[in-house]
């Protein structure tokens, strides 16, 4: 067993990276600010100062959302990969996001007021993600081929996006606008008032994950071993899908679809740390996921003078070649 210190050291480095990127993201952008503005914005906020408003109302929510989204999607990806014993699994490629998108589209485009509220949005995204998660779980019980399952998820995504297109055509201008804005996917859409609820759900779900770490470690050896060690496999699978759905649904509700983070980061951490200890993997995915998406966000800031890159496009740009790399190295 590798000493914990070796892991600890790399965790500290990534943590430092996260802190550095966070400060960068808070201080720089279209308008550059300094540490004094930052201090004032956090400690003695006045909405008369433009710099403070930018930091507190725009940058702080975005940076925190980058950290939370990266961490949540990466942990969700780790859970899916262990559940399906498939390195190609992830919340985006298996279509869990699509479930959220479909439910949010049905809600928003129906024009019924309650679905346009915050809770309505989260609720429909979570329910959609959970239903699609169970659907994938059911499909995986007879579709044993790893690449087959991936294809199934991608097809599910295409199917849902065509339904959404049809819904869009037939809907009112106002609800269409609300949905289009959401579906573009961005870390900018969250206001500071929404942050507490997001943080609470995120932290709660992380704690829930800690309690399934032990059976997940055994699940790596197959479901028979889990049963032999006295766990209820069915309950475990549904719990894993539930946790994944909460992570994915939460992020999809507020940021729209963000692709490939949940596939690339868990693979990266397994390769880097060479372990199947899910407690370590949980921490690693939390930190590396946050670092990865925060890094992507900073890249979009750097280019913001000349080009506004949607975050979803950037993660796909990095994530898709990574999937191809795994495919090729597995098929060989």
Partner 1 sequence: MINLKDIIIGFDKKLFSIDGISFEKGQVNVLTGKNGIGKSAFLLTLAGLNSTVKGMISLNEKALTSYSSKQLSSHIAYVNSSPKGVPFLSVDSYLFLGRSNYTNMFGKASETDLLEVEKAKTLFGIHHLSAKYTNELSSGELQLCAIAKAYVQQTDYILLDEPTSHLDYANKRKVYELLGKMANEHNKGIIISTHDLDLAFKFDFKFYLIQSKSLLLKQVKSFKDVEIEFDHQAK
10 contributes a contact to partner 1 by CB under 8 A: no
How many CB atoms are closer than 10 A to CB 172? 11
237 contributes a contact to partner 1 by CB under 8 A: no
Interface segment toward partner 1; rule CB under 8 A; list 68-76, 110-118, 273-281, 303-311: 273-281
State which of residues 103, 218, 286, 298 lies at the interface with partner 1 (CB under 8 A).
Answer: 218
Please state the closest distance from residue 239 (CB atom) to partner 1, in A: 14
Closest CA to 70 of 166, 187, 184: 187
Interface segment toward partner 1; rule CB under 8 A; list 118-126, 144-152, 207-215, 300-308: 207-215
Q: Between residues 30 and 224, which has the closer beta carbon with respect to partner 1?
A: 224
**C-alpha to C-alpha distances, 235 to 212, 220, 230, 240, 299, nearest whole angstrom:** 11, 16, 12, 9, 41
217 contributes a contact to partner 1 by CB under 8 A: yes
Interface segment toward partner 1; rule CB under 8 A; list 149-157, 198-206, 275-283, 284-292: 275-283
State which of residues 200, 222, 303, 313 lies at the interface with partner 1 (CB under 8 A).
Answer: 222
326 contributes a contact to partner 1 by CB under 8 A: no
> Which own/partner pairs from 25-32 qualify as long-range (CB within 8 Å, at least 24 positions apart)?
25/59, 25/62, 25/63, 25/66, 25/294, 25/297, 25/298, 25/301, 26/55, 26/59, 26/60, 26/63, 27/55, 28/301, 29/54, 29/59, 29/301, 29/304, 30/304, 30/305
List residues binding partner 1 (CB under 8 A): 1, 210-211, 213-214, 217-218, 220-222, 224-225, 227-231, 270, 274-277, 279
């Amino acid at each position: 067993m590798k000493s914990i210190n070796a892991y600890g050291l790399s965790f500290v480095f990534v943590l430092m990276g996260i802190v550095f990127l966070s400060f960068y993201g808070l201080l720089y952008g279209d308008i550059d600010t300094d540490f004094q503005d930052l201090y004032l914005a956090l400690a003695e906020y006045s909405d008369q100062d433009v710099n403070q408003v930018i930091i507190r109302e725009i940058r702080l929510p975005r940076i925190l959302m980058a950290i939370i989204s990266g961490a949540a999607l990466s942990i969700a990806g780790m859970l899916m990969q262990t559940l399906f014993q498939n390195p190609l699994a992830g919340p985006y490629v298996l279509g869990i996001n699509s479930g959220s998108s479909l439910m949010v589209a049905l809600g928003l485009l129906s024009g019924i007021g309650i679905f346009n509220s915050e809770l309505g949005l989260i609720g429909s995204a979570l329910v959609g993600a959970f239903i699609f998660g169970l659907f994938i779980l059911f499909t995986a019980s007879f579709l044993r081929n790893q690449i087959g399952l991936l294809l199934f998820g991608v097809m599910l995504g295409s199917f849902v996006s065509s339904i959404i297109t049809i819904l869009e055509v037939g809907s009112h201008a106002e609800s269409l606008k609300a949905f289009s804005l959401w579906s573009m996917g961005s870390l900018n859409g969250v206001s500071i008032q929404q942050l507490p609820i997001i943080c609470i759900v995120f932290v709660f779900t992380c704690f829930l994950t800690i309690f399934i770490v032990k059976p997940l470690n055994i699940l790596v050896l197959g479901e028979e071993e889990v049963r032999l060690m006295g766990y209820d496999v069915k309950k475990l699978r549904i719990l894993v899908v539930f946790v994944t759905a909460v992570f994915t649904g939460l992020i999809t509700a507020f940021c729209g679809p963000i692709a490939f983070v949940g596939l690339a980061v868990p693979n990266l951490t397994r390769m880097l740390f060479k372990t199947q200890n899910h407690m370590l993997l949980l921490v690693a995915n939390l930190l590396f996921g946050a670092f990865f998406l925060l890094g992507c966000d900073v890249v979009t800031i750097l280019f913001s003078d000349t080009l506004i890159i949607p975050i979803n496009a950037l993660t796909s740009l990095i994530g898709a070649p990574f999937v191809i790399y795994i495919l090729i190295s597995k098929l060989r």
